Amino acid sequence: TEQSYIMIKPDGVQRGLVGDVIKRFEQRGYTLKGLKLINVAKDLAEKHYQDLSARPFFPALVDYICSGPVVAMVWEGKGVVATGRKMIGATNPLASEPGTIRGDFAIEVGRNVIHGSDSVESAQREISLWFPEGVAEWTPVAKPWIYE
């Protein structure tokens, strides 16, 4: 089944948005497979955002991700990568639709609360980067009430 790496960034944790973010993914019907609250080492943040290393905002981005604990998660379910991105909203929160996480909770691109993998391939890379120990194995009892 498809999995996505979803991360509540330090501003989301500091602002008490952890429960709301988890609630949205649970209510949609996705399955939580991995979850941890961690302070991020600089080299992990740099590896995570390696594709952006040439951008002028890269040092500030790495500092932001390392500025406090993040909630690292793996969510599983049909279409979770693309749907997760829709639930999160546009990169720039002022362009995010109301009803999305960024559209409801954020204003600036440098404080946009949450990360979501942008493709199935990125998700696989990010999950092995953030969860080298692996994730939990379980099947929710509600599965037949979410999938036909």
- Residues in contact with ligand GTP, total (CB under 6 A)? 11
* Angle, CA 96 vertex, CA 32 and CA 72 arms, to 5°: 25
- Which of 37, 41, 60, 146 touches ligand GTP (CB under 6 A)? 60
Q: How far apart are CA 76 and CA 49, in angstroms?
A: 22
Q: What is the largest CA-CA distance in the chain?
A: 47
Nearer to ligand GTP, 7 or 76 (CB): 7
Interface mask toward ligand GTP for 74-93; x: CB under 6 A: -----------------x--
| C-alpha count within 13 angstroms, C-beta hemisphere, residue 140 | 16
Q: The tokens 């037949």 sit on which residue?
A: 144
- In one-letter notation, the amino acid at residue 85 is R
Interface mask toward ligand GTP for 96-125; x: CB under 6 A: -------------xx-x--xx-x-------
Q: Which residues are catalytic?
A: 115
Q: Which residues bind ligand GTP (CB under 6 A)?
A: 52, 57, 60-61, 91, 109-110, 112, 115-116, 118
